[in-house]
A and B are shown apart, each in its own frame.
Chain A
């Protein structure tokens, strides 16, 4: 076995894992409070990448601005979706939320595909992060190292806010019993709106991070999101730490599979999902349903 190949696949795995973790974290945060699976998550990730592209092309604003502005803009669009559509569905079966966001995803992707076709648009790596370190056993492209590190920081920060701060305590309480929390004078509907916006912003942030690695493409989200759904099922829906750990772990497992048994690299996550479901139907970190 060539160690060079092994480590480079491992790095690719870690990067995929970073995106799985960011996206499944957003899904988990949204699911925790709204009890819906946000099918538009992939489309919103794609919009994050496009927002970065637009900022550069139209306003000349580079990567670092995009990293801040794109999640805010896409998050606001998410809030718009929540305020105008999702909020009418909370008293219905949760499956309607899935169906609605699926429709929204189709519309968004259709619009972008109409405008930009299916081919990718290039987005260059910011000058500060170009080049590579020689680690002795392999070359580490700086940008890729940055993506893994940065998303890890964001994931852990999110975990900290939700599990260890007062705001997070409100959030967790509202997940358990929204009526009671509202009776204590906390504006739960606004919290729901902001949570959805935050989850969407996480997806958009992942999109900005992905723009220089993959090309900016209208279909970049739709293929990724189904893998992320499997990741979320494995980790257990609604579990914050669960989605972070499983996200990174499965990315790396996928990377290893590419080295040792490349034919199965597309399906390994789904196979793991089937095995996990046999043993623990509510996922590795999920509470029993």
Chain B
């Protein structure tokens, strides 16, 4: 693949530490997220944060390896089911439930990744979509997922035996901490020598191969990382909303995360976060309009692809001449 989807090559600063403007942007983001629950409905923010982490994890593949996965709902949903099952049926504490869910998604990521990374471009998108649909039908029929009902009233429990997560603010700051850990893991990974190799693969795969890199392994690790962190988002979401349901495994969810990332800016550090907040906000306002939300989503897709391929953060970064 010559150039990945809509990503400019402007990562010259990446090798040595984080550039100042990204540190500032990160500081602003953290400050906003710390203040936000006192101004905005915290449950909305928690939902947006889970999706922001999901979109960031998705962005690892599309933005830095140039692979469009159309099946990321599989990881979000599987982790949600695993975490909800552990918390509700086995009575596991929330930290164990979330870790288990994350591990389940990571394991699934390794298996599906091994099969999927053999292909590229449109084939890759199709294959991930088909695998995710397989997981969907499995979730629909398996006993422990509760079929159409999902796993309901999952207990939030007490984090590390210290923090009662039934308190909204305690839950919020736990979610914020999880999000920030995930965000920083991704930031570190894509700004490491490993991340540089990924970008090399994205820009010119045959060249990376000829330089002696085991491209398949790099892609598989990136896929597994993306799946694992999607799982972290899904497991957290299941604990927050005390629910794991088919919505999270359905292919429309895979489409939604593509849209969040595209809207925010493919291959940007902060884009997926912004995209997730915009889309979850829209969903909140348009929820009572039913099918109209689908129409709006579709229209945003069309407009983004036709005229706004850099996304919100990508355009902002271009105006400021700094990659964000």
Q: Chain A: residues with CB nearer than 8 A to chain B?
A: 31, 35-37, 85, 88-89, 92-96, 98-100, 102-111, 113-114, 226-227, 229-230, 232-233, 237, 263, 266-267, 270-271, 273-274, 277-278, 281-282, 289
Contact = CB atoms under 8 A, between A and B. Distances in A.
B169 interface: no
Closest A-B pairs by Cβ, 7 of them: A103-B301, A106-B298, A110-B295, A107-B298, A110-B294, A270-B134, A266-B137
Contacts of B118: 277, 281
B242 interface: no
A93 B300 CA distance: 19
Given A114-B291, A237-B123, A273-B127, A99 B258 contact: yes
B193 interface: no
Task: Give the interface size bracket for B toward A.
Answer: 35 or more
B294 A104 contact: no
Contact of A267 (B1, B6, B134): B134
A99 B263 CA distance: 12
B308 to A, nearest CB: 12
Contact of A281 (B119, B300, B306, B309): B119
B120 interface: yes
Contacts of A93: 1, 3-6, 121
Contacts, number: 138
A287 B257 CA distance: 32
A26 B209 CA distance: 36
B125 A98 contact: yes
Contacts of B121: 93-95
Contacts of B306: 85, 88-89, 100
Interface SS, B side? helix
A103 B120 contact: no
B138 A267 contact: yes
Contacts of A102: 255, 258, 298, 301
A100 B126 contact: no
A115 to B, nearest CB: 9
Contact of A100 (B131, B140, B295, B305): B305
B133 interface: yes
Interface of B: 1, 3-6, 68, 70, 115, 118-123, 125-127, 129-131, 133-134, 137-138, 140-141, 251, 255, 258, 262, 290-295, 297-302, 304-306, 309
A270 B291 CA distance: 29
Contacts of B140: 266
Given A37-B122, A96-B309, A104 B298 contact: yes
B303 to A, nearest CB: 8
Contact of B299 (A36, A37, A103, A267): A103
B127 A95 contact: no
B141 A263 contact: yes
B119 to A, nearest CB: 6
A289 B120 contact: yes
Nearest to A106: B298
Contacts of A103: 297-302, 304-305
Nearest to B300: A103
Contacts of B297: 103, 106, 110
Contacts of B127: 233, 273, 277
B195 to A, nearest CB: 21
B302 A109 contact: no
A80 B1 CA distance: 29
Given A95-B121, A233-B123, A114 B298 contact: no
Nearest to B290: A114
A263 B137 CA distance: 10
Nearest to A81: B302
A50 to B, nearest CB: 15
B302 A104 contact: yes
A146 to B, nearest CB: 30
Nearest to A37: B122
Contacts of B68: 95, 98-99
Contact of A107 (B134, B138, B141, B299): B299
Contacts of B258: 99, 102
A274 B119 CA distance: 12
Contacts of A271: 134
Nearest to B116: A277
B130 A273 contact: yes
A274 B131 contact: yes
Nearest to A116: B291
22 contacts: A36-B122, A85-B302, A92-B309, A93-B1, A95-B5, A95-B68, A98-B70, A99-B68, A100-B302, A100-B306, A102-B301, A103-B300, A103-B302, A103-B304, A106-B301, A110-B291, A229-B129, A237-B122, A237-B123, A270-B133, A277-B119, A281-B123
Given A37-B122, A226-B251, A96 B5 contact: yes
Contacts of B133: 226-227, 230, 270
A113 B293 CA distance: 11
Max chain A Cβ within 10 angstroms of own Cβ: one of B68, B122, B123: B122
Nearest to A233: B126
A109 B255 CA distance: 14
Given A114-B295, A277-B119, 11 more contacts: A35-B122, A85-B306, A88-B306, A95-B121, A105-B298, A108-B298, A110-B292, A271-B134, A274-B134, A278-B115, A289-B123
